[in-house]
Amino acid sequence: MITKVKDENAIALTFDDGPGRLTSAFLDCLEELDVGATFFWQTRYLHHKRPFKRALANGHSIGSHAHKHRDLTKRSFEEQFDSLQTSVSLFSTVMNHEATLVRPPYGQYNKETQRAVDQLGLRMIMWDVASFDWELKEDPEKITRLVVDNVKSGSIVLLHELPQTLVALPAIVHELRQKGYHFVVL
C-alpha cells in the first residue's frame, strides 16, 4: 500500500468517484493549471463516451475505485475479488488500458482486500491528507485551507469530482506552488 510520494517537495492530487458529469471540467482546469493528477474511477460509470482518452493523453493516470462504491470490507473475499476483477476487465475492454492502481471505496480495506489486490497485481493507493470536500459543499475556501495547511513533502491528497472541489482547485494549486511544491502523477 502506498500512502506517500517519494519525490522531495512532490504532492499527488487524487480524485475519487468519477467519471462523472464534471470530469471534463476537472480536465480543463488541470490543463489550464498545467498539473497532472490521478483519478480513481468506479467502472460502473465507465463507457466509451467518458473522456478517458483525453485524461490519459494529458498525462493523468486512472486507477480503479472498484466496480461499485461499496465498502469492500463488508464483503467476502470472493465478492471483493469479483468487484476488483470486474473493474480491471472493464478498464481493459472499454479503455484499452491496464489498471495498475486501486483505491478501495471509502478507503476501507482488510486482509481479504489486500489479498485480492495482490492477486490482481494492483498497487493500493491511499492518502495522508483528506480535503473533506464531500462535507464542505458550501465552503471551497475551507477545502483549500484543509489541503494547503496539512500537506507536506510526499503527501497524497484525497479529493473528489465535486463542484466545490472544482472551485477550490485553482487556489490549492496556486498556494502549494507558492510553498515550493510540485505535482506528480502516480
Residues catalogued as catalytic: 16, 160
Which amino acid, residue 45?
Y
Could you identify the residue written with the cell 486512472?
A: 62
Residue 10 in grid coordinates: 512532490
For CA atoms 14, 16, 20, 21, give the dihedral sign: negative
Which of helix, strand or coil describes residue 110?
Answer: coil
Cα–Cα distance for residue pair 165/181, rounded to 1 Å: 19
Complete DSSP assignment for 125-178: B--SEE--TTT-TT-HHHHHHHHHHH--TT-EEEEES-HHHHHHHHHHHHHHHH
List the beta bridge partners of residue 157. 13, 129
Q: How far apart are CA 181 and CA 10, in angstroms?
A: 6
Amino acid at 138: E
